[in-house]
Amino acid sequence: MTARDSLSPGLSLSKRRARSAMWFLTPMLAALFFVAAWPLLRTIYFSFTDTTLTNLYTGKWVGFDNYLSFRQLSSGRVIWRGTLADMSWWNAVWNTVRFTALSVSIEAVLGIGVALVLHKEFVGRGLVRAAILIPWAIPTIVSARMWGWMLNDQFGIINDILLNVGLISAPIAWTASTETAMTAVLIVDVWKTTPFMALLCLAGLQMIPKDIYEAAKIDGVHPLKVFFKITLPLMRPALMVAIIFRALDALRVFDLVYVLTPNSKATKTMSVIARENLIDFDKFSYGAAQSTLLFAIIAVFVAAYVWIGRVDLGGGSK
Amino acid sequence: MTKFSKRLLGAAALTALFSASSGLAEEISYASGITGNGLENFKTIVAPWEERTGHKVNLVSMPASSTDQFGQYRVWLAAGNADIDLYQTDVIWAPQLAEQFVDLSTAAGDLAKQHFSSIIESQTVDGKLVALPLYTDAPALYYRADLLEKHNAAVPTTWEELTKTAQLIQDKEREAGDKDLWGFVWQGNSYEGLTCNALEWVKSFGGGQIVEADGSISINNENAIAAIELAASWPGTISPQGVLAYQEEESRGIWQTGNAVFMRNWPYAHRLGSADDSPVKGKFGVTTLPTGGGHDTSAATLGGWNVAVSKYSKKQEIAVDLALYLASPEAQKLRTLISSRLPTIVDLYEDAEIAEAAPIVPQWKDVFLQAVPRPSAPTKSAYNEVSSRFWTAVHETLSGNGSAAENLELLELELTERRGDSW
């Protein structure tokens, strides 16, 4: 240390501290650069070239052709090409947005419900709290396969139960028919991620001071009003964090759809279609463009959330 | 010492040297999709080679869906994966993966000449023999002979007849209490298998082959529309609604438990259906797929699997040797005897032992002669996308989203745009 001190005599203690902190951070920053930034930049670069999977290093720069380009035919008709003019891409965007909106709202409502129950004192609460996390702990591939079998039209248990109860008259081919495919995916996703929501909501609930409830009780406030006027506003920060996490996850959903309803037009999401182009269709750069768009959409979403969060923060501090 | 024993000694020394340098038993990795009892069969087939060379073959089992396999292989090959030495490749992959595999034309030499020349041709890209054929595949119509006889029905020769007969038997058997019986099971999931099924309907109706050999897009025509409209009437009537999610094994599951009158499937289902534990053993027959729309030749999609050696393998010599063995008459005969896979070596169709143990094989020659290739050659590296767009259009029609006419018109437009000036 003495050698260092003599080398930089003019630096104050805080500056020296900042400098040594930099050294501690460097390995982490380097790791982040190589596992996150580098692949991302490379994908963005690929999206402006005509790279294929067989020749990763010989792609030529093509500008925005993978995103949007047009050609005029000799007949005068203009043909638009590129991801932004691709109907299947917009279908995937719509599927993803629909999936995100539906799954996150259902999970938020159910999650709050479960959290409220788990917040109450009852015998065996610890056990129930642990048990409810099981769906979240199972790898998605496994749960998707499992549900795939349960939803099967011939030997699936779901159809068997519904038939026996008399709710349906003929077995439903959940994952096969285009009308029910999205429902099937939603069922599995809700089953899997409600515990996660519940856990985050429960953490939010536990932050609320008990005396507020006592005061409300003494004043004789109706429990529903207590929920909407006290519980919900106070757990809102935790809930918002949970929702943003889930929404980010849902926007890039891949494994569940890929295993449960592969290739179904009704459920193909942005990630699924990007992979399809990257690998199956020999349109690597086109898929890279779609991945880049997916990244951009998520980035916009996060930025919007941060902005809304700031506004709220300002409002809360008055 | 005689010359012979000197040679023997030399060989022993060489073997010792070899084993010292590479640890006698090299492990060769072979990636392959698995259906039915494929795993045990593969072990039996490679056993003689393992014994002869002292190497071990490690089978890397992949999902049964060829679409899934292709995705995985493509990623591995693009990354220059040296862990997999050999890949079992679908007949349609050669043009797309040609650059990543070793040229086998010199190594195969005379062996290649013993195979059906059309199959060798399908695996040759710009003069490079990309893969060696293991077996060929052509689907057929499986029918329950006992049920047809019981209801006095003939084996259908047209799709229209099949629809009628299936409905009739299904209705009567259900009245009699067999509630789980279905008329016809096939592969309707949106994947490569649906392209095969639908190509058969279209071709046998005289509706062409999606993309013709000269690269022209022929799919939007009246015969093709009629074929797909007829097929769209099946789910929910003679086929379970869930057929839209079935691949080969799901349809075989229904069939082999005795719950279907007809099934469209590949030859492997014959062997499994005739096993001792199979409820349909001895109750079924096989024939060529029906024709339709007044057209008189049926069509069976040419399938089949080949073996290719990865360019990135570090044990290429051993891997090529294994590939040559697997495509040899010896291994093909063994495979045919234990799994009723169709050999690609012409002479084996005349083999007396095969004719006795697997009478299905000589019979299948008729099916094979009607085989239609998928348009993988004219569409080159765009084949997967062409196939995917085709099966999506068909799946949409089967699910009741739009008529065949609407969907095929849209498909024609999509394919034309994808093609641009040329494939």
ipTM exceeding cut-off 0.95 for this assembly? no
| Model pLDDT for residues B272-300, shown as the tens digit of each residue | 898 899 999 999 999 999 999 889 888 99
Chain A interface residues facing chain B, Cβ-Cβ under 8 Å?
Answer: 52-54, 56, 79, 81, 152-154, 170-173, 175-178, 262-265, 275-276, 279-283
The sign of the CA dihedral B258, B259, B264, B265 is negative
Position B3 scores a pLDDT of 52
Average pLDDT over all residues of chain B: 89
Strands B300-301, B284-287: pairing kind: unpaired
d(CA A183, CA A185): 5
- For chain A, the domain total comes to 2
User: Is there a domain that residue A25 lies in?
Assistant: no
Q: Are residues A200 and A52 in the same domain?
A: no
Cβ–Cβ < 8 Å for A159, A168: yes
Looking at the structure, tell me whether residues A57 and A125 fall in a common domain. no
Percent above pLDDT 70 for chain B: 94
- Are residues A317 and A244 part of one domain? no
Q: How many CB pairs under 8 A join A and B?
A: 90
Residue at A40 is within a domain: no
**3-class DSSP state for residue A255?**
helix
Superfamily for domain range B140-301+373-419: Periplasmic binding protein-like II (3.40.190.10)
Confidence of residue B20 (pLDDT cuts 50, 70, 90): very low
Do A252 and A165 fall into the same domain?
yes
**B375/B217 Cα distance (integer angstroms):** 10
The pTM for the full model equals 0.81
Cβ within 8 Å, pair B392-A152: no
Q: What is the mean pLDDT of residues B226-252?
A: 92
B35: DSSP letter: -
Examine the pLDDT at B385 and tell me if it is beyond 70: yes
Q: Is B188 helix (H, G, I), strand (E, B) or coil?
A: coil
What does the block give as tokens for B224?
A: 């093709």
In a domain, A9, yes or no: no
Note whether residue A156 is domain-resident. yes
Tell me how far apart the alpha carbons of residues B301 and B199 are, in angstroms, rounded to a whole number.
7
**Which chain B residues have a beta carbon less than 8 Å from that of A283?**
385
- For the sheet with B260-265, list strands across it: B182-185, B260-265, B140-144, B284-287
Which residues of chain B make contact with A281, given a CB cutoff of 8 A?
A: 382, 384-385, 388
Q: In the prediction, which pLDDT does A100 show?
A: 95
Asked if A280 lies within 8 A of B67 by C-beta distance, the reply is: yes
CB contact under 8 A, A152 and B242: yes
Write down the architecture of domain B26-137+303-372 according to CATH.
3-Layer(aba) Sandwich (3.40)
Same domain for A73 and A120?
Answer: no
* Residue B417: pLDDT band with limits 50, 70, 90: confident
List the domain range (segments joined by +) for residue A131: 88-281
Same domain, A99 and A245: yes
Residues A245 and A127 both lie in one domain: yes
* Among A83, A91, A264, A271, the residue to mutate for chain B (most B Cβ within 10 A): A264
Nearest CA in chain B to A153: B242
Q: Is B284 helix (H, G, I), strand (E, B) or coil?
A: strand
pLDDT at residue B378 is higher than 80: yes
Query: Is the pLDDT confidence value at B18 over 60?
Result: no
Location of each CATH 3.40.190.10 domain in chain B: 26-137+303-372, 140-301+373-419
Least confident residue range of B6-15, B32-41, B157-166, B390-399:
B6-15
Cα angle B35-B37-B41, degrees, rounded to a multiple of 5: 110
pLDDT at A191: 95
Nearest-angstrom CA–CA distance, B158 and A222? 72
CA dihedral B229, B231, B233, B236 (to 10 degrees): -150
Based on the fold, state whether residues A101 and A116 are members of the same structural domain: yes
Question: B396, A265: Cβ pair inside 8 Å?
Answer: yes
Question: Within this chain, do residues A121 and A186 fall inside the same structural domain, yes or no?
Answer: yes
Query: Which residues sit opposite B27 in a β-bridge?
Result: B56
Q: Which residues of A touch B69 (CB under 8 A)?
A: none
Is position A165 within any domain?
Answer: yes
Query: Residues of B near A (CB-CB distance < 8 A)?
Result: 65, 67-68, 70-71, 74-75, 78, 96, 99-100, 180, 188-191, 240-246, 250, 253-254, 381-382, 384-385, 388, 391-392, 395-396, 399, 401, 417
Same domain, A134 and A223: yes
Residues B318 and B107: beta-carbon distance below 8 Å: no
**Is the confidence at residue B19, as pLDDT, over 50?**
no
Residue A303 lies in a domain: yes
Which one of B73, B74, B187 makes the best mutation probe of the A interface by having the most chain A beta carbons within 10 Å?
A: B74
Tens digit of each residue's pLDDT, chain A (318 residues) = 444 544 555 678 888 888 888 999 999 999 999 999 999 999 999 999 998 888 888 888 998 999 998 887 777 778 788 899 888 899 999 999 999 999 999 999 999 999 999 988 888 888 988 888 899 999 999 999 999 989 988 788 999 999 999 888 888 888 887 888 999 999 999 999 999 999 999 999 998 998 998 999 899 889 899 999 989 888 888 888 888 889 989 999 999 999 888 778 889 999 999 999 998 888 899 999 999 999 999 999 888 877 876 655 444 443
A134 and A201 part of one domain:
yes
Give the list of residues 6+ apart from residue B78 with CB closer than 8 angstroms, or none.
Answer: A53, A54, A56
Q: pLDDT tens for residues B34-66? A: 877 888 999 999 999 999 999 999 999 998 888
The whole-angstrom separation of Cα A136 and Cα A141 is 12
Shared domain check, A289 and A276: no
In a domain, A110, yes or no: yes
| Residue B9 scores a pLDDT above 60 | no
Residue A312 has a pLDDT of 56
